[in-house]
Amino acid sequence: MTVEEVKAEVRLLNLENIRHFPCTNTQKDDFYSLFNKFGPDAARMYMIPAIFRGEIPKPSEYFNVSKKV
């Protein structure tokens, strides 16, 4: 997975769909906190390592949507 692919994946995450995304409660809480304090880009960047390492599924596969690179 390239850097651009991971960036495209995390762009699919937002405050609404992170609730149903299969990640830990800690990751969800951190996403909410970062989103509210520093904005959506910071929250999405936080999720990059877990997606890159395959610890959580790719948002495009989980939500069954196509991503724009």
Domains of the chain by residue range: 7-62
Reply yes or no on whether the pLDDT at 1 is more than 90. Answer: no
Residue-wise DSSP of 48-63: HHHHHTTSS--HHHHT
Side chain identity, residue 43: A
Per-residue model confidence as pLDDT tens digits over 11-69: 999 999 999 999 999 999 999 999 999 999 999 999 999 999 999 999 999 998 765 55
Q: Which residues contact 69 (CB under 8 A, 6 or more apart)?
A: 4, 5, 8
On whether the CB atoms of residues 67 and 9 are closer than 8 A, the answer is yes
pTM tops 0.85, yes or no: yes
Q: Fill in the amino acid letter for 27.
A: Q
